[in-house]
Structure formats: structure tokens, C-alpha cells
Homo-oligomer: A and B are copies of this chain.
Amino acid sequence: MTKENFKITPWEIEGEIDYNRLIKEFGTEKITLELLKKMGKYTKEIHFLIRRGVFFSHRDFGLLLDEYEKGKKFFLYTGRGPSGKVHLGHLMPWMLCKWLQDKFNVNMYFQLTDDEKFFVKKDLTLEDTKKLAYENALDFIALGFKPDKTKIIIDTKDIGLLYPTAAEIAKKLNFSTAKAVFGFTNETNVGLIFYTCIQSAPCFLEDKMCLIPLGIDQDPHFRVTRDIAPKIGKRKPVLLHNMMFPPLQGLGGKMSASDEATAIFTTDTEKEVENKIKKYAFSGGKDTLEEHRKLGGNPDIDVSFQYLRMLLEPDDKKLEKIYADYKSGKMLSSELKKITIDKINTFLKEHQKKREDARKIIDKFMIK
């Protein structure tokens, strides 16, 4: 499958995504330098995930900043479908949320969609997905969100909060539209057909603008929400889209929590990380040492490098040096992999400690 022939829905990604084409097809806007400047007025620095274009697209983020300028507040919302363990790719939007919460001092809602994953995954019970929801919540909390400004929503537990708003949306969404947006068929179960309304509901938890940092694959849900919002007298949520974190095997597709060999999980041991990167991480290096030294590697398709760029190395200078050294052939694939392994393991050592500590404070984040 080539860039000309990729597929992206909230539940499936195939082929190598052409992000520029996606902006056109989805009808989103590119994040421009002007927008960064506008944001910089409040944040001073720009988070590296935005600076480097990992967050590459948006809907109405300029409008949100204009409103903010006029003194209007917003709140943050993102989520996670608990179908398995959390992998590094999941952390991208959460990290940006944490940064935005710190910069703007705003409330944050984190939705764990145990119902969705139950509807989608044949072999998972509701008990499974709910248990995974609690486990996944630990990774979110570990990133340092403020308990007094952050609430975690677990769909089946907190449905009382969501359902009346979901019903408002559901009344305005017919099967025809849902089918067109999500690619449903007559065989799709009615739980999943209704589900998008549950994912929309947190957008309206506060009478403020809602800002959602999220993977571009989730955009269809909020395209629906944005269409319907004015019809039910609500504001359209504002979106900031990140690119998909590549699986170890290379740039096509996305990491899958259900395939151990495609992703680094936050609970992986040092040894597992080392083995996975060495064994699976797609390399942009040349076939032989001689060739590599002579022609150089390709960091743009090298998964280890992309992990540094998209998550692990916030320091632009260091990253640029690695890029240049690898491209020139000065740095070998094994050396690049070593850097990435060390970076991941340093990060995970700290993260895993905070993740365990999160068990003690998770109650503070729960909706009573």
C-alpha cells in the first residue's frame, strides 16, 4: 500500500499516511507560523511537538486563541480507548495536554472509552476494558496532571454524566451520516453506531470552548460533533491533530496495543525495550557498513530517529546533530538505536515509578 492508497478511520489505519492530503480531504487547517506566534504570546515557548510539526493540523485553534485574547476561557479534553497497554504513541497528545494545562491553567477531562473498545474488540469483555481503563489511567496520571483541575471519565462508570448530552447529539445524527463518516456497514453493531455520541459528550461538560489535542485518526468523531454542535446550541470543539506515532516496523500504519511486536509499551522492561528496538525498529541505514559510511542513512524513515523526534528528545540542537550525523554516515544505525534505547529506558524508569505512585492518588481524579 502506497501513499496514494492509505486508509484512516478511528479504528483502522492502513498504508503510509499522506498528511498533506489528509488536511485537504478532512478539510482541516495546517498549523502555521502565524498561529504559533499567536499562541506564543501566552505560552512564551512553543512545545517541541508543535514546533516540529508532529501536531500539524487543527480546527479553529486560531479562533480559540482570539477568544482567549478577549478573556474567554477554555478547557482541555482528550481520551484513550482501553484495548490494551499504553504505548509510547499514546503519550504524545497527553504530553501536549499536560503542557497546555500548565501554560493556561485550565481544567482537563480524560475519557477512557471502555464501551467503545468492548464494541470493537470481539474478544474483550466489558470487565476487561474497564480493568484496562484503570490501568491506562495510571499512565495518564503519571504525566503529572493537577488532580484539582483534572477529571478522568470512564464511560460505563460515568455514563450518567454523558448520556443526556450524547442523546442530544444522537437525535441529530442519522445512520446515513454515521455510515458515510465512519464507514459503517449493515453488519456494524448498534453499540458502535451510537458510540460516537458518547465520545462527543465531554466536549460540552463546561460552558466554555473545548480544546482537544488528539491523533488525526480520531478527527471523524469530532467532525460529526462540530456539525451538530450549533444545532443543539453548543460551541464547536477546537481540535489540534497529531500525526500517528509509527510502529516499530516503519512509517505505514500505527502502533497497535494489541500486537506486542509493533510497539514499545510503558510497562516494558529495559531488556524488552532493547530487544524490540534492536530487532524490530525499522532502520534508515544502508545494508553494509561501507555503504552507510559512504552514502549515509535516512533519518526521515528511520523509526529510532522518529521516536526521538516525536517524543523523546525535546532538545532541538541535540536532535539536529543526530540527524546530521546519521545522514552523513558518521553515525551508524546501531549507534542511533543505542541512543534511542537509552532515551526510552531513562524515560520509562521514571515513568514507571510515577505510574505506580499514581495508584495511590487515582481516586482524586475520579468523578464521584
Contacts and interface: CB of A to CB of B under 8 A. Distances in A.
A170 B190 CA distance: 5
A196 B190 CA distance: 10
A193 interface: yes
B179 A119 contact: no
Given A160-B160, A163-B156, A188 B175 contact: yes
Nearest to A121: B171
Contacts of A176: 186-187
B188 A119 contact: no
A184 to B, nearest CB: 7
Contacts of A118: 167, 171
Given A156-B163, A164-B156, A191 B171 contact: yes
Contacts of A196: 190
A241 to B, nearest CB: 24
Nearest to A165: B126
Contact of A175 (B160, B173, B193): B193
Given A156-B164, A163-B159, A164-B156, A184 B191 contact: no
A135 interface: no
A174 interface: yes
Nearest to A155: B163
A194 interface: yes
A163 B185 CA distance: 23
Nearest to A119: B171
B174 A179 contact: no
A115 interface: yes
B175 A126 contact: no
A119 B167 contact: yes
A163 B168 CA distance: 17
A291 B356 CA distance: 91
A189 interface: yes
A142 interface: no
Contacts of A257: none
Contacts of A197: 190-191
A13 interface: no
Contacts of A178: 190
Nearest to A224: B190
Contact of A119 (B170, B185, B187, B190): B170
By Cβ-Cβ distance, the 5 closest A-B pairs, closest first, are: A170-B191, A194-B194, A176-B186, A159-B163, A160-B160
8 contacts: A126-B167, A159-B163, A170-B189, A170-B190, A170-B191, A175-B184, A178-B190, A194-B194
